[in-house]
Structures are given as structure tokens and as C-alpha cells.
A and B are shown apart, each in its own frame.
Chain A
Amino acid sequence: MRPMSQALKARSIRGLAWLLVAAALAVACGPARAQTDASEKNWPSLRETLFGTRPILDGAAMLSLEAPVRAEDAALVPVAITDLQPGRIKALTLVVDENPAPVAAVFTLSPEARVRFLETRLRVNAYSYIRAIAETEDGALYMVKRYVKASGGCSAPASKNADEALASLGELRLRQFPATDPASEEAELQLQIRHPNLTGMQMDQVTGLYRPAHFVQTIRLSADGKPLMSVEGAISLSENPSLRFKYRPGGAKALAAHVEDTEGKVFEKSWEREGKRDKDS
């Protein structure tokens, strides 16, 4: 059984000032108050750190963000950026306001790839806004956001099977989905990376020592040697990071992934592109 409080319960004790024993750890739930009221208290300083004084426009016409209203599992929250205006966006920043490392990932998109859809999985430590900020080719910023209630106040965003994630560390998989519409010039891929993505916040209860953070830092995907997409990742990406997206492959014949983690380990793999139509080749 896992802990799971209801919003009602949280509300009943909202008057209590929860001093965050684990503020330094930041694995704690936010104050009970922050869990029932959608708080933007962290955003102004985050915004300044990430984007300075640059204006950020409403992104509704540029992209959408899909995230569950209530996360079933704080360790594994699927988040999708949809309806991206293809070819116009060069970078996407995914932010989880209340996480200890709020910037979950920064995606750099090649305009030719015309990425329209992108899905990944996040750790969400507390009830929090999740934001996607898109930067267009001309340098303008557009933002969309969703408020996510992590399950039951917050079940720990912990690993499920750390032994397995470590044993096959660095294994790369690429799933190539068959096109639902054969006439479509779009293709869909999922890159899976075996990695525990350790947050550095796990204290060994016997030794009292923290296990060092160890996570996937850089992902570079290329098609026929040309950049397709790159990702700067951090500890808010779930164990075994996953990246699923739709793009225009054009005539690409080969796909390759280059992944680096914080220990300097490099994992690489390449694949022949499946489902090429005749006119592609």
C-alpha cells in the first residue's frame, strides 16, 4: 500500500504551517496549502533565472500541454506537448515549478523535422504547475501550463526496480510506430533509455550518506547524420527516460542516438529507418 491522501484531508490540515524538514532534500510535499491552491509563488524567480526580462506570450496558439489533473504516480507522470506549430519552434523548456530541479528538460528541435507532438515522463514532487515554454525561430517566447496534483499529496517519486535499471544501464531502444495514415508524411518514434536517473536525494538510512545524483544529461537524435532533436535532461525525468514524438522524416534512411550521463558515460546506437515509402528513397 502506498500513501495517498485526498485533497480533502490536505485541506483539513491546511492551517498548519508545515516547516519543511526536508526543504534541503526537497523531496517533501509542499506546504499543505500549496497542495490545494494552485500556487505560482516559485514562478517569478524561475522565470527571471531562465528567461530574464524577455516577454513571455500566451502560447495557446503555438502549442498545447497535456498532463493529468491528478498524477497517479508521482514518479511517472506522462506529459505531452501537442499541436506544436511545426517548423516554427526551435526550443522547448519543460518546467515543474515545485520540483527541486524545476527545469525538467530543454528540447532543441530542428526546423526541418517539423515536430508536432512530443511526450515524456516526469517526476513531480508536489502539487505543481508544469509549464512548456516554446521559443520560436525569431526568439519570441510562448508559454502554456497545467496544474498537476501529484497523487495523494505526493507518493515518493522513487524508483521501482533500481537493480534492473542499473543492471542494464545505457541500453537504448528505438520504437518506430507504423503510420496510422499511410498518406501522412509524418512518422512517430519513441526513444527509450535504461537509466535509474538518480536524483541525488536518496539518503542511505544506514550510512546516512546520500547517493550521488546520476542522470541522463544529454540526448542527441540525428537522421542521416543531421541533428533531429536534442535534449538537455535533469533529475525530473523519470527513471528509464522515454521520449516519444512525431516528426517529418523526409527521406532519412538512418536514425542515431547519442546519450551522455552525468558520470560521463556515453551510450550510442543507430537504427535503419523503418516504414520508408518508395518516394522517400
Chain B
Amino acid sequence: MPDGDNRGAIANIGFVIGAEGVAVIDTGGSYCDGMGLKAAIRARTALPVTYVINTHVHPDHIFGNAAFAGEGVSFVAHRNLPRALGERGEHGLQSYAEQVGPEAMQGTKIIPPTELVTDTLRLDLGGRALVLIARPAAHTDADLTVFDEATATLWTGDLIFLDHIPVLDGSLKGWLALTAALMQQPAARIVPGHGPPSAPWPEAGEKQLRYLQRLAEDLRGAIRAGKSISEAAAVCGTGEKDGWQLFGAYNSRNALTGFAELEWD
């Protein structure tokens, strides 16, 4: 949960260094968080940052963008990200400031993408390629994955949560299908959006898959039984509570979102 102590730095963020340039993958929850990442890059290489990749619209992943804004930097995101930013950007700045405090938010602003991924995009960092794939609605409706071919590392953004309960802000059916599909994709490791900085694949997807399956099953049962959306939100998914952080903060919300989707089946 973003707060004054963590200054909004709650997501996994990072970078990949090629022979000619650096790609940043998510920039953190504030300008200050982004500057921290920039310093970490500078400690490793003098090469310029040529790409900033935003895996999705949520503030904890993109509010550090301003730390990297400048000439020669391309901001890359899912084709739906501009629309999502339009709906949430200003709102996010406000509410995030209330959470982390105005001081931590100093310098933070919305930097929209300059290059959109419609389907697949290959970025060349000089002898090192990143493959970006725009995914269908799942965690949100603007999720992007990044695959680093050199190390077989899959950056999932918030398409995979570890430790922190998955937060549904897109499509439950889409996310279930995509979690299972990603688990079929060979990778040496993933970098999840939340949890440890890297995790073995596909094992790291199992707990999320189980939670989403349980949530969907419970919701379908509640819908069949004619339960109201409020009744369903109070109970669905709670059997998978163990082992997740912030379960109480997000499970009911996930159930509401899932109900409103599955009632159309």
C-alpha cells in the first residue's frame, strides 16, 4: 500500500542494459522514486536511457516517468494506455498525493507514451532485444509484457502478483486465460509487478491462478443462485485468503469487478 513511509515505491521496477542504450521497465510511484532508479542505472552504466516502457496505467508503475523525460527517450506503452491515462491520470495524481504526501510527489507528472504497441514490438538496445506484447484485457485493459531474449526473463508487470493479492481492474476471464497462457510461455524467471524482484517460472504463477479460479467459481455460483452483487462481494474468493498480503483491502473489490463481468455470461 503506498504511504508516506514508502513514498509510493511499492512496485518492482527495473532496467535492461544493451550495447547502445538502456530500457527502463516501469518507473515507480513518484518522480522521487524514478530518480532513485535513475541513480541506480547511473551506478551501472553511462549509456543513455533510450526507452521507458510502462507496463500499465497504475500510478505505482508510471509516476516516476518524469525522471526520465527528455530528448531521445521514447515512452512505450500499450495502445490503450493513452485512453486509460485520460480516465485516471489526474485522479491518480490527486489520490496518490493524499496517500504518500505532497513532498514525495514533488515533480511527479503524467508523461504520456510516445510510441504505442498495438500487437508486438521489438526494441533493439544494441545486441540485445526486448519483445513487447500488448495483451488483451486482464489485470487492466492496457497490460504490456516485456521479454528479454538474452536472459529469458519475462517482465510481467502486474499480470503476475506474488505475495500482494492480485488486484482486478480489467477482466477476470481475460486475466485467468492470460495467466494460464503466460505459464505456458518458457522463461527462466519472471519479474512480477509486486513481490520478490524475480521468481521461477511457471511455478510463480500457480498461486495467482488458483485465486482467480476460485474467485470466478465462487462468483458464478453466486450469480446462478441469484445473489446480489453486494452479497457476492462479501464472500466470494475468501477461501483463498491465506498467504496473500492486503487480502482484506482488495478481495471484495475484485469480487465486485468480477461479478459485473461474469453476470453477462
**A and B together in one complex:** yes
The chain A residues found within 8 Å of chain B, CB to CB, are 1-6, 9-10, 12-13, 16, 18, 21-22, 25, 27-29, 32, 35, 66, 68, 72-73, 76, 78, 80, 119, 121, 151-156, 158-164, 173, 175, 177-178, 188, 192, 194, 201-206, 211, 238-240, 242, 244
Q: Name the A residues within 8 Å of B88 (CB-CB).
A: 156, 158
B83 at interface (Cβ–Cβ under 8 A)?
yes
Whether B94 contacts A5 by the Cβ 8 Å rule is: no
Whether A151 contacts B253 by the Cβ 8 Å rule is: yes
Interface centre among B90, B194, B252 (most CB of A within 10 A): B90
Q: Give the segment of B2-10, B120-128, B198-206 that binds chain A.
A: B2-10
B151 at interface (Cβ–Cβ under 8 A)?
no
**Which chain A residue lies CB-closest to B3?**
A9
Whether B99 contacts A152 by the Cβ 8 Å rule is: yes
A172 to B11, CA, bound (A): 40
CB of A189 to closest CB in B, whole Å: 11
Whether A163 contacts B101 by the Cβ 8 Å rule is: no
CB of B110 to closest CB in A, whole Å: 6
Q: Name the B residues within 8 Å of A160 (CB-CB).
A: 137, 141, 169-171, 257, 260-261
Whether B137 contacts A204 by the Cβ 8 Å rule is: no
Partner of A158, one of B60, B84, B194, B249: B84
B58 at interface (Cβ–Cβ under 8 A)?
yes
CB of B22 to closest CB in A, whole Å: 24
Q: Give the segment of B182-190, B223-231, B235-243 that binds chain A.
A: B223-231
A281 to B253, CA, bound (A): 43
A192 to B229, CA, bound (A): 13
Could you list 14 A-B pairs, sorted by A, with CB under 8 Å? A1-B61, A3-B59, A3-B60, A5-B99, A9-B3, A12-B101, A22-B94, A25-B90, A27-B91, A156-B92, A158-B91, A160-B257, A203-B86, A204-B82
B16 at interface (Cβ–Cβ under 8 A)?
no
Whether A28 contacts B99 by the Cβ 8 Å rule is: no
Whether B98 contacts A164 by the Cβ 8 Å rule is: no
Partner of B256, one of A73, A158, A204, A205: A73
Partner of A72, one of B4, B83, B233, B263: B233
Q: Name the A residues within 8 Å of B92 (CB-CB).
A: 3, 156
Q: How many A-B contacts are there with CB distance less than 8 Å?
A: 168
Query: 7 closest pairs, A vs B, by CB?
Result: A205-B112, A72-B253, A156-B91, A5-B99, A158-B87, A156-B88, A205-B85
Known: A78-B229, A173-B264, A240-B260. A202 touches B87 (CB 8 A): yes
Whether B91 contacts A68 by the Cβ 8 Å rule is: no
A242 to B141, CA, bound (A): 22
CB of B43 to closest CB in A, whole Å: 27
Whether A154 contacts B91 by the Cβ 8 Å rule is: yes
Q: Name the B residues within 8 Å of A78 (CB-CB).
A: 228-230, 233, 256
A80 to B230, CA, bound (A): 10
**Which chain B residue lies CB-closest to A201?**
B87
Known: A73-B253, A161-B137, A202-B86. A5 touches B98 (CB 8 A): yes
**Which chain B residue lies CB-closest to A67?**
B230
CB of A78 to closest CB in B, whole Å: 5
**Which chain A residue lies CB-closest to B96?**
A3
Known: A28-B91, A205-B110. A1 touches B252 (CB 8 A): no
Q: Name the B residues within 8 Å of A28 (CB-CB).
A: 90-91, 94
What mask results when residues 136 to 173 of chain B are scored 1 for a CB within 8 Å of chain A, else 0?
A: 01000100000000000000001000001001011100
Partner of B102, one of A13, A35, A152, A154: A13
